[in-house]
Amino acid sequence: MSILSFGKRRVAPQSEVPAEIEAFLDGFSIEVMPRTAEKVEDFRVLLPEGTRVYIAHIDGTPIEDMVATAKRLNDAGYPVMPHFPARIIPDAATLENWIAMYQGEAGVDQALLLAGGVAEPQGAFHCSMQLMETGLFDKAGFRRLHVAGHPEGNRDIDPDGSDRAVMEALRWKQAFSERTDAEMALATQFCFEARPVIDWADRLRAEGVTLPIHIGVAGPAKLQTLIKFAIACGVGPSLRVLQKRAMDVSKLLLPYEPTDFVAELAAHKAANPDFNIEKVHFFPLGGIKTNATWTRENGGAAGVPAADQ
């Protein structure tokens, strides 16, 4: 049997994994927090070299901890994409300082810009568009900017349950990508049901929003853990997938795995090559090691292609 190199670890190829799933997981990314990253002794044992790693910025986490985590990952061979949550950034001077710290100390040149999870802005910014308008990322040479996508809507942005404000913001971001040199993509909230995601992605394209989509996928975790995170993060109708599973006593104690969700999206992508979901972004809600193991076993043994880092 042939063996594939995988960072410092060598693993057997998963010959039984359908080609469309392997292709769909190619170049996947994953999200970590400083406190969870601290528990990982060596990321190179878990993730392929070149895997894009997002660093979630939780309100109250010192920027020094964020930058230290970014430096550790960058030094290990991973392109790092830190979160910049608009509502917890006091002013433009702080934003400029954060950018400089990430760039100077950790070699970062890409960012995920989002409003942030707090209800009220703590300073001058309340949305990602305001961060983009400062021009500070362009000035610093950040060439890749990702923004948030919401396949099931966002009640914080559209309290009435519509998606009018979300769509208006997406059109603005599409226009921004067209008038600047920024390489942009939508990194979405995690979902559990493929069909609504497919319909949402098709609708965006029909309305002229052609930004590549990096679809959020919840990694393997206990069902109770996923339901807790899904409710806290405002996951919409697809939460019913978990609720239905919770009603089945035979499955209640088994960990949830995103196999069916990923397989359905992968099959759709294989049948429709122009489908604008281009990458998978994992939220390792059941732990980084657990997520990395599932990904590897399901064909995700390729990190970010060199040309796309």
How far CA 56 is from CA of 17, 66, 88, 204, 233, in Å, comes to: 30, 8, 13, 26, 14
pLDDT, one tens digit per residue, over 160-180 is: 666 778 889 999 999 999 999
At residue 8, the pLDDT reads 37
Kindly state the tokens that stand for 18. 């359908």
pTM, 2 dp? 0.86
Sequence-ordered list of residues with C-beta below 8 angstroms from that of 98, at least 6 positions apart, any chain: 63, 84, 89
How far CA 168 is from CA of 62, 173, 201, 232, in Å, comes to: 33, 9, 15, 25
- The Cα 104–Cα 73 span in angstroms is 14
All residue ranges of the chain with pLDDT < 50 are: 1-14, 302-309
User: What structural domains does the chain harbor?
Assistant: 19-298 (3.20.20.220)
